[in-house]
Amino acid sequence: MENNRDGAFASAAELTTGIAARKAIRAGQWTSHTSGLAPGHVQGNVVILRAADADDFLRFCLRNPKPCPLLAVSEPGEPLLPTLGADVDIRFDVPRYRVWRKGELVAEPTAIAELWQADFVTFVIGCSFSFEQALLDAGIPLRHVANGRNVAMYRTNIPTTPAGKFHGPLVVSMRPMTAANAIRAIQVTSRLPNVHGAPVHFGDPAEIGIADLAKPDFGDPVEILPGEVPVYWACGVTPQAAVMEARPELCITHAPGAMLVTDLLNHQLAFS
């Protein structure tokens, strides 16, 4: 039991499906990170923008599919996302939101019905939870998971393809592993293009503009043992950073780690 509101509780062990997780979240019984909820189910990054910004952002995602794989885009003003779950209502179904005005964080509510606008467009973007589960299922250990830390993330010198007001560098997540595991990891994640797909680089961090692996720009540093190489994947922080940089009048995102839990199964994302 990790959450508590109005005397109601939810236990992660009970929230084994997307429907059960969302029901608890919607009832205010779960308001923190969703790692480990509804095992096997796809979770998504959330970005909500007004229509004028949404047009640019949609083109930004389409032009940068590795960091911004779109799992769903709503109709303008429509809070339901039926392709991710019959009952999904983006006004209530994220455990904790962040509300940004002109790039400044102004609130962290657990529902956004009162903020809803008739032209809001919701973007749900694939997240590395899905491919990390696939790697673990393939027998590839992930040190940050074993250590209970956040993955190490870095700004690179690889530019995204801009669209309107959205631009900025590719952000990558890094996982150290042996060469043999890296080869297997490339195979496993290649089958999952909707959750960042294959790595964008491995080996020398300087080649992609990373000065010091011990100093990630986001997340926690991770040890690299002898015989291991750092492997870099495009990261969903890329579009978040582009949105922050663009400073739109109003933007709502999920709070870090508190994702939208969907009814999709990770296995359904694999193209073969």
Total number of residues binding a second copy (CB under 8 A)?
Answer: 18
**Interface with a second copy, residue 272, by CB under 8 A:** yes
Rounded to the nearest whole angstrom, what is the least distance from the CB of residue 226 to a second copy in the complex?
A: 10
Nearer to a second copy, 17 or 190 (CB): 190
**Interface with a second copy, residue 138, by CB under 8 A:** no
Mapped onto helix, strand or coil, the DSSP state of residue 40 is coil
Rounded to the nearest whole angstrom, what is the least distance from the CB of residue 229 to a second copy in the complex?
A: 6
Strands (E), 60-194: 70-73, 97-101, 104-107, 121-126, 152-159, 169-178
Strands (E), 198-272: 201-202, 228-234, 251-254, 260-265
Residues in CB range of 107: below 8 A, 6 or more apart: 97, 98, 99
Nearer to a second copy, 12 or 172 (CB): 172
Q: Given candidates 140, 182, 235, 260, which one binds a second copy under the rule CB under 8 A?
A: 182
**Interface with a second copy, residue 186, by CB under 8 A:** yes
Strand partners, 230: 176
* CA–CA dist 100, 263 (Å, integer): 28
**Interface with a second copy, residue 136, by CB under 8 A:** no
Question: Mask of contacts with a second copy, 224-263, x by CB under 8 A?
Answer: ---x-x----------------------------------
Helices (H), 49-178: 51-63, 128-137, 143-146
**Interface with a second copy, residue 268, by CB under 8 A:** no
- How many CA atoms lie within 13 Å of 18's alpha carbon, on the beta-carbon side? 22
**Interface with a second copy, residue 180, by CB under 8 A:** yes
In the range 189-228, which residues lie near a second copy by CB under 8 A? 190, 198-204, 207, 227
In degrees rounded to 5, what are phi and psi of residue 41? -95, 145
Q: Given candidates 86, 105, 179, 214, which one binds a second copy under the rule CB under 8 A?
A: 179
* CA–CA dist 146, 123 (Å, integer): 31
Q: Given candidates 187, 245, 249, 268, which one binds a second copy under the rule CB under 8 A?
A: 187
Nearer to a second copy, 200 or 255 (CB): 200
Among residues 150, 165, 177, the alpha carbon closest in space to that of 237 is found at 150
Nearer to a second copy, 24 or 200 (CB): 200
Query: Which stretches of the chain bind a second copy, using CB under 8 A?
Result: 179-180, 182-183, 186-187, 190, 198-204, 207, 227, 229, 272
